[in-house]
Amino acid sequence: MPKLNYGIIGCGMMGQEHLRNIALLENAGVAAIFEPDPAMRATASAMAPKAVITGSVAELLAVEAVNCLLIASPNYLHLRQLEEIAFIRPLPVLVEKPLFTAPEDAPRLAALRVAYPAPIWVAMEYRYMPPVARLVEEAEAATGGIRMLTIREHRFPFLEKVGDWNRFNSNTGGTLVEKCCHFFDLMRHILKSDPVRVMASGGQDVNHLEEVYGGEHSDIWDNAYVIVDFASGARAMLELCMFAEGSRYQEEISAVGPLGKIECHVPGPGRFWPDHLGAPPVARVVVSPRDPKGPKMVEIPVDPQLLAAGDHNGSTFYQHQRFQRAANGGQSVEVSLDDGWWAVAMGLAAQQSAATGKAVDLSAVSYRVV
């Protein structure tokens, strides 16, 4: 397989997680980095000393060795940077979620989809967490066809970001877009169906209440319930709580059907688990048939080197392996622009439903482009 030489656009917390994981890949390296913040740039450069440090996206694209791209800049820049890349040098690209942040941006995606000649893969790390992948693999047999799917995330508050960009909905798309697009993507991935209706309740109740930046109060939400009806008739629910970092597990997914239930329990980042509590929890999958009864639990340990390389249970590495194959023409893109649209559209619909108190019919939204 030809060597992948990444050009990295945005190298803050997540960009650096990508650097650590690219370093573990076979036949891959980082050829160039564009990171405007001096402190982040210095850290990134120390982590990838062979990379050329550039001053703009255009300069990065001019580095001949670069043959694929990763975008890990703030959310509101993703679409415009994809457009700039399309115009200058459309290479295979892995773009962090969310793909876009505002309803009025969606039509630009349709143009991009038609014009872009190389693979665009939207980064959805949660699909590649080993316990989640195991649940997806076994769900049909364990449930006999999922009728109810629940995803619960109980975690720590939003971390501080460069320039505090994540404190405002206008930069992120809103919590149900920024954070929860992952879970809406997982719902479609697990149920193999598209959603038709979204109902939500959410708000800012505990975190960020006193936070003011440049005279503006942070408006991001820290908790929500979202109910989604799918075309298949399945129902899904998301429960998000961002003031629950005392939890043993961060993500808990359960899927139930006529034959039984399957669950997975995924711990949060090991670096946040207190030393005095001993080793961090290990992910697990539990299958609970109805007849004969008898739940069976298996632990899903993840290579410690991969766990240490990021905050996402090893998934960033597995996603890169697959992106690498797609960039080299050895497999198709698994998370397409259409998948990226759905994940954001569901998040925007949930934000709207929570704000208005009304259900949102996804076939009727103005930003529909798939």
Instruction: Identify which of residues 18 and 261 has a Cβ nearer to ligand NAD in the complex.
Output: 18
Question: Backbone phi, then psi, for 252, in 5-degree steps?
Answer: -135, 125
Both tokens of 334, joined, read 């698994």
**Taking the CB of residue 49, how many other CB atoms lie within 10 A of it?**
7
Both tokens of 316, joined, read 């960033």
Contact set for ligand NAD, span 17-36 (CB under 6 A)? 34-36
- Asked if 37 interacts with ligand NAD (CB under 6 A), we say yes
Number of residue whose CB is nearest ligand NAD: 12
- Asked if 154 interacts with ligand NAD (CB under 6 A), we say no
| 3-state SS class at 115 | helix
The least CB distance from residue 279 to ligand NAD, in Å, is 23
- Asked if 310 interacts with ligand NAD (CB under 6 A), we say no
Determine which residue in the list 4, 7, 9, 60 makes contact with ligand NAD, applying CB under 6 A: 9
HSE on the CB side for 49, CA within 13 Å? 1
The least CB distance from residue 269 to ligand NAD, in Å, is 10
Any alpha helices (H) in the chain, and if so which ranges?
13-22, 38-47, 57-61, 78-88, 106-115, 130-143, 169-172, 175-178, 181-191, 304-308, 315-327, 337-356
Which residue do the tokens 């039509």 mark?
A: 107
- Asked if 73 interacts with ligand NAD (CB under 6 A), we say yes
Determine which residue in the list 188, 312, 320, 322 makes contact with ligand NAD, applying CB under 6 A: 312
- Asked if 347 interacts with ligand NAD (CB under 6 A), we say no
User: In sequence order, which residues have a C-beta less than 8 Å from that of residue 361 and are 6 or more positions away?
Assistant: 196, 197
Instruction: Identify which of residues 82 and 234 has a Cβ nearer to ligand NAD in the complex.
Output: 82
Strand partners, 226: 200, 238
- Asked if 282 interacts with ligand NAD (CB under 6 A), we say no
The least CB distance from residue 350 to ligand NAD, in Å, is 16
Instruction: Identify which of residues 12 and 92 has a Cβ nearer to ligand NAD in the complex.
Output: 12
Binding-site ranges for ligand NAD (CB under 6 A): 9-15, 34-37, 40, 72-75, 77, 96-97, 123, 125, 161-162, 178, 312
